[in-house]
Amino acid sequence: MRAHEAGALHASGYGGPPQWLPYPGDVNELMRILWPRTVRRDEQGRLEVAGVDAVSLAQEFGTPAYVVDEADFRARARAFRDDMGAAFAQVGGGADVYYASKAFLCTAVAQWVAQEGLCLDVCSGGELAVAIRAGFPGERIGMHGNNKSAAEIRAALDYGVGRIVLDSFDEIDRVTAIAAELGVVAPVMIRVTVGVEAHTHEYIATAHEDQKFGFSLAGGHAYKAAERVLSEGDLRLLGFHSHIGSQIFDTAGFEVAARRALELHARVAREQGVQLPELDLGGGFGIAYTSEHHPLSPAELGAGMARIIERECRAEGIPAPRISLEPGRAIAGPAGFTLYEVGTVKEVELEGGLRRTYVSVDGGMSDNARTALYEADYSATIANRRGEGEPMLSRVVGKHCESGDIVVMDEYLPADIGPGDLVAVPGTGAYCRALSSQYNHIPRPPVLAVRDGVARVIVRRETIEDILALDVPDEL
Ligand SMILES: Cc1ncc(COP(=O)(O)O)c(C=O)c1O
């Protein structure tokens, strides 16, 4: 059963738990790959992160709360920087890793990324403002977006960002004019639509490029854009950029994308006499949300991608450009989880005599839109104690007025779970707070960073007063 416009209740035919969800031998066992590295169960059976147990977190900060294992986030960032750097150094050009801040950004996170020596990808004036507030070095910032405003471009150039990724001919005009007005030469890349769509284990290579981002390769627009940019004294072309999708688990899609982008890169060298120094292959590296996902490590990804670059550059007879990569989810996602409190538990009968328990928590689609939006799968565990009951097929749902308000579609939770218990959902460090809303006027949860036995707030909880403060009443 999957999404129905009117909500899950209206969909038909539930075939039982998905194949990737076997009946667990121990319902309290934590599947390591889903959790931040410091997470474990303590002697009392409570979930613990970086030495702080979930019950203490809930008591001190309330629920729901997003929790980030700071050391884990930093370690994942470092692994990308070091392993990608090492892999691409082998083929000549080296690599820069841009943390894709759309996955999750706040000032503290921008500071961690700067301290770990990565670059930062922003795609709006708001994300840039956070980076500036964090004192992120301008030359290590890249700015994206298919419709950047003049104000956003001006702010980026004013701050001295290292690259603006151009997305249309209108934008070439706009950036040229603003660079001229500011008296700077704008470093730019050209986003290319290479005709590769990659999602999870599948990718599709097509000739058509029916999407809003980038300059078409097949239609010749990308080459024309390069000609234009190279003729503008106010712009400096660094290279081409391609991003092919999300939750990608192998390098096959990158192979096609890199080949197509490098053909263009080589054509510019041949016909324009310009050896572009860089190539950006974007982000999209997959993470494990459930036992069905098997992500590659940054070292494995780096080795595979570097082999592709080496082979394609040799075939084109060009030196390997410096490569940039833009992982977001793979750094922030597994470093975080969401802590909820259970409010109600309700059993329902499904077709074929199956039973499922609905476990309602104190958050939902406003703090995690991905299940409703993308039919994303998540996992969950009891977090305040060891469950004593048998594993029971459960659905973790929120408190919103929407039957599609589901956080975790299918999970085994202990049969004795009840009101007041805590539930933790791993893998929520990326695209959860970032996509959150105030639906039903429910204030957004805080983000807590935990490190070396200490938890602190890095984004505070929203309050009803915050929500009311934006609301301008007519005379009461
Ligand atoms: C241009 C670009 N780079 C990087 C990313 C980050 O993707 P992910 O978080 O899946 O690594 C995205 C995501 O949409 C993107 O559009």
**Residue range 235-262: mean pLDDT, rounded:** 93
Question: pLDDT tens digits for 58-69?
Answer: 999 999 999 999
Report whether the peptide linkage leading into residue 64 is cis, meaning its omega lies within 30 degrees of zero: yes
Q: What is the mean pLDDT of the chain?
A: 94
Contact 118, 77 (CB under 8 A): yes
Catalytic residues: 401
pLDDT of residue 271 exceeding 60: yes
> Atom of ligand 1 at shortest distance to CA of 246?
10
Are 256 and 208 in contact by the 8 Å Cβ rule? The answer is: no
Phi then psi for residue 279, to 5 deg, are: -145, 130
Q: Which of 189, 215, 243 to mutate to test the pocket of ligand 1 (most atoms within 8 A of CB)?
A: 243
Q: Which residues have any ligand 1 atom within 6 Å of their CB?
A: 100, 102-103, 121, 144, 243, 246, 282-285, 326-330, 430
The number of the ligand 1 atom at minimal distance from the alpha carbon of 431 is 9
Q: What is the pLDDT of residues 337-349, one digit of tens each?
A: 999 999 999 999 8
Residue among 218, 134, 233 at smallest CA distance from 183? 233
Number of the ligand 1 atom closest to the C-alpha atom of 430: 9
Q: Per residue in 358-405, pLDDT tens? A: 999 999 999 999 999 989 999 999 999 999 999 999 999 999 999 999
**Cα→Cα distances 304→40, 87, 285, 319, Å:** 32, 9, 13, 18
Q: Write down the pLDDT at residue 219.
A: 86
CB 414, CB 317: distance < 8 Å? no
What tokens does 124 get? 């709006």
Which of 393, 391, 389 minimizes the C-alpha distance to 416? 389
Q: Which of 326, 370, 431, 433 to mutate to test the pocket of ligand 1 (most atoms within 8 A of CB)?
A: 326
How much distance in Å is there from the Cα of 67 to the middle of ligand 1?
22
Q: Both tokens of residue 347? A: 């059993």
DSSP letter at 28? Answer: T
pLDDT in tens, 213-234: 889 998 899 999 999 999 999 9
How long, in residues, is the chain? Answer: 476
Cα 242 to ligand 1 centre (Å): 10
pLDDT at 14: 62
Secondary structure class of 97 (helix, strand, coil) = strand
Between 2 and 268, the more confident residue is: 268
Residue 10 has pLDDT above 60, yes or no: no
DSSP state of 218: T
Instruction: Tell me what the mean pLDDT of segment 123-144 comes to.
Output: 98
Please indicate whether residue 354 or residue 344 has the higher confidence score (pLDDT): 344
pLDDT of residue 15: 67
pLDDT value for 16: 80
Tokens of 50: 């970086």
Q: Which of 97, 246, 249, 323 to mutate to test the pocket of ligand 1 (most atoms within 8 A of CB)?
A: 246
Q: Which amino acid, residue 362?
A: D
User: Which atom of ligand 1 lies nearest, measured to the CA of 327?
Assistant: 11
Task: Report the separation in Å between the CA atom of 100 and the middle of ligand 1, taken as the mean of its atom positions.
Answer: 6
Alpha carbon 442 to chain centroid, angstroms:
23
Q: Residue 192 has what pLDDT?
A: 96
Tell me the CA–centroid distance for residue 41 and ligand 1, in Å. Answer: 33
317: left (phi over 0), alpha (psi -120 to 50) or beta: left
* Ligand 1 atom closest to residue 144's alpha carbon, by position in its atom list: 1
What pLDDT sits at residue 446? 98
Residue whose CA is at the smallest distance from ligand 1 atom 5:
283
pLDDT given for residue 201 in this prediction: 63
Query: Hey, what amino acid is at 325?
Result: L
Confidence class for position 99, pLDDT limits 50, 70, 90: very high
pLDDT of residue 205: 66
pLDDT for position 11? 45
Q: Are 416 and 381 in contact (CB under 8 A)?
A: no
Q: Helix, strand, or coil here: 199? A: strand
Q: Is the pLDDT of residue 53 over 50?
A: yes
Ligand 1 centroid–CA 264 distance in Å is: 22
Structure tokens at 83: 């392993």
Q: Where are the alpha helices (DSSP H) in 232-341?
A: 252-272, 298-316, 329-332
Which residues lie below 8 Å from residue 17, measured CB to CB, with a gap of 6+? Answer: 23, 393, 410, 412
The full DSSP string for 400-418 is SS-TT-EEEEEEEEETT--
Is residue 8's pLDDT more than 80?
no
Count of Cβ atoms closer than 10 Å to residue 205 Cβ = 17
- Over range 122-133, report the average pLDDT: 98
List the residue whose alpha carbon is closest to atom 12 of ligand 1: 283
pLDDT > 90: what percent of the chain?
87
Residue 207: predicted pLDDT: 53
Residue 318 backbone phi and psi in degrees, to 5 = -125, 155
Residue reference for tokens 């490098």:
262
CA 346 to centroid of ligand 1, rounded, Å: 38
User: Judging by DSSP bridges, how do beta strands 355-361 and 336-349 pair with one another?
Assistant: antiparallel
List the one residue out of 383, 447, 449 whose CA is nearest residue 71.
449
- What local confidence, expressed as pLDDT, does residue 213 receive? 86
